[in-house]
Amino acid sequence: MREKMFCRLSLAVCLLLLLFIVRAPHGERLESENRAYTAFSLASPDRYFTDRLPLREHLLRLSRNIALALGKNEFADAFLGRNGYIFSEESVSTETLTKNLDAVQVFADALGIPVYTAVVGAKTDVLFGSLPRLYADERESLWQALRESELQTIDLLPTLRRRGGEGKYIYYRGDHHLTTLGSYYVYREIAEALGITPYDAKDFSVGVVKADFSGSDARKMLCATQDKIALFRYAEDGEFLVENRDSGEGMRGLYNTEKLHSSDPYGVFPIADCGYARITLPNAERQRLLLVCDSYGDALAPLLARHYDLDILDPRYYGGSVKALAAENDYAAVLVYFGMDTIAGKEILYKLRF
């Protein structure tokens, strides 16, 4: 009798929970994780229901606290390092990287203009002094594959490792991106490779616009890191026209400061999550550069815009032919600029072949 009562009670609780998940009102996004709710799929229905669990964030924090109390140093594909840094452990392979590099080579061979490739290391590739003790680095084969490619590459790793070793704030503690300072060091390396003279730091006005940024790595660990977003400003940066060629929307100025008060402050860089963007300086005759990139290009583009008009493509979102666009426009050069975790994690650059 008691067993029947327990089974009925358990079934009733499950049905009520299911009814709550299906019928309870939800916002359009999980703001704490800066992503949309998972759509229902018969192939993987669990994410749909776990996204909508009552008190979901509290349950996740409890799970994280239990894991840390048991001596684990990781949670949700992220792990704690030293000096306040949080690292993410991405699934990468040399095979995937090689396929992407081969696609860049096919793309470069088809064009009659210089094509440069620059790859940004993850924090695990650069910030050795902030990694947990006894951390085993198994990623050197990725960099060896990049060095052995026949692409015209710009080696950013030595500069980033040197600056990181000096204690420079080049990566956010709770996000995978370079800080604007890190992007500035990268900009100097890229500018010299492109044959242009980079501006000195003193030629910019640097100011912190957000002092409590917690990015993707912090969201995985369900904690706050109080990172600082700083912008490298210059006198004419408010005159630029930034066009979202996907939506047809445009704005004046290189930065969307309204985003600083949203759930995604990194959106202060207006080309974030855009498949095709264009940055121009009206009434100025300048060379044009095609920048093919992932989100690492968001903070780099305003610096390069001081030298070039830019067409910016993110192949994760762009559905057109990159090769056709490059052939139709008079670009001085093409810069292929990605994070290592992006091009060694997913085969996304096959679009460059078409």
Residue 25 within any structural domain of the chain: yes
Domain shared by 44 and 132, yes or no: no
The answer as to whether 70 is a domain residue is no
Would you state the pLDDT for residue 21? 46
Confidence of residue 51 (pLDDT cuts 50, 70, 90): low
pLDDT score of 25 = 46
**Any domain includes 224:** no
Question: Domain check: are 103 and 20 in the same one?
Answer: no
The answer to whether 48 and 39 have CB atoms below 8 angstroms apart is: yes
Q: pLDDT band at 4, cuts 50/70/90? A: low
State whether 37 and 119 are in the same domain: no
Query: pLDDT band at residue 53, thresholds of 50, 70 and 90?
Result: low
The per-residue pLDDT for 23 is: 46
Q: How many CB atoms lie within 10 A of CB 136?
A: 6
- Bridge partner list, 243: 250, 278
Measuring CA to CA, how many Å separate 302 from each of 102, 220, 234, 307? 29, 28, 10, 10
319 vs 351: CA distance, rounded Å: 9
The total number of structural domains that make up the chain? 2
As a whole number, mean pLDDT of residues 289-295 equals 97
For residue 232, list its beta bridge partners. Answer: 206
Indicate the SS3 state at residue 134: coil
DSSP lists the bridge partners of residue 242 as 251, 279
For the chain, give the mean pLDDT.
87
Long-range contacts of 257-261 (CB under 8 A, 24+ apart): 257/209, 260/209, 260/210, 260/229
Output DSSP code: residue 57.
Answer: H
Which of residues 101 and 31 earns the better pLDDT score? 101
pLDDT at 145 over 90: yes
pLDDT tens digits for range 172-218: 999 999 999 999 999 999 999 999 999 999 999 999 999 999 999 99
For residue 12, what are the domain limits?
1-54
pLDDT at 22 over 80: no
Neighbours of 170 (CB within 10 A): 23
Most confident among 22-26, 34-38, 162-166, 281-285 (mean pLDDT): 162-166
Check whether residue 150 and residue 15 sit in a common domain.
no
- Confirm whether 230 is domain-assigned: no
Question: CA 181, CA 303: separation in Å to the nearest integer?
Answer: 11
Contacts of 173 (CB under 8 A, 6+ apart): 83, 84, 85, 86, 218, 225, 227
Q: Whole-model pTM? A: 0.87
Backbone CA torsion sign across 22, 24, 25, 27: negative
How far is the C-alpha of 35 from the C-alpha of 242, rounded, in Å?
24
What pLDDT does 233 receive?
97
Q: How far apart are CA 301 and CA 291, in angstroms?
A: 8
Q: How many whole angstroms separate alpha carbon 315 and alpha carbon 338?
A: 11
Percent of the chain with pLDDT over 90: 70
Domain match, 41 and 111 both = no
Q: What pairs with residue 117 in β-bridges?
A: 153, 336
**Domain assignment present for 4:** yes
